[in-house]
Amino acid sequence: MRSHSVPAPTFQPQGESLGNEWLTHVNLNTGRVGKHRDADLPPDIYVRLLPLLQQGAGPIPGHPGLVAAIHHRKDAVQGALGRPAMPIVEFGLAWGPQGASSVWRPLCVMARPLRRLAKPAAKVPVAFAARRLPWLAVVWFPSITTLSADEVLRLSGFIQFLGLALLRQRLLRN
């Protein structure tokens, strides 16, 4: 998992919903796109994620043996989830144009060879990154096969909640 020199911002421990802030979620392996609202993030999950959000790395709550690394940029976040030294999914979250550009391209490059394996439903255009802010994009690696089907479903849900929690943190700081 990568490291970055940009320090993690200081967060306020609040669990209140920010209402109907939407997050577009795209799976770059399959081209599947969904939307999530901040209001869908349960306050107890948000509070449980605060230590991980504040530290930028550590064990994933409720997922024994899995860890997360989160790297903050100016208007984006990039990270990976997996076992130590074995990423299972890489993700990016962007809410501004610089982050959209700097995070989207590397994720697309990672996803390109994996799209053939996933039989994508649609190709996600490069322009997507600039038009659909804020967005959360994920790339699943073949190491996903080290997880059970139940673990994959739970990790998928965790990524959705993590994206919403990171977006909430960004909005609370403004």
Is residue 98 within 8 A of residue 74, CB to CB? The reply is yes
Q: How many CA atoms lie within 13 A of 52 on its CB side?
A: 26
Q: Is residue 15 one of the residues assigned to a domain?
A: no
Q: What is the pLDDT of residues 11-65, one digit of tens each?
A: 333 344 445 568 889 988 888 888 888 877 787 888 889 899 989 999 998 899 9
Is residue 174 within 8 A of residue 30, CB to CB? The reply is no
97-to-25, 71, 170 alpha-carbon distances in Å: 17, 17, 15
Q: Is residue 62 one of the residues assigned to a domain?
A: yes
Q: Is residue 7 one of the residues assigned to a domain?
A: no
Q: Is residue 13 one of the residues assigned to a domain?
A: no
Domains held by the chain: number: 1
Q: Is residue 2 one of the residues assigned to a domain?
A: no
Q: Is residue 5 one of the residues assigned to a domain?
A: no
Domain that holds residue 106: 22-173
Q: Is residue 11 one of the residues assigned to a domain?
A: no
Q: What is the pLDDT of residues 149-160, one digit of tens each?
A: 999 999 999 999
Q: Is residue 121 one of the residues assigned to a domain?
A: yes
The model's pTM: 0.80
Antiparallel, parallel or unpaired: β 57-59 and 22-27: unpaired
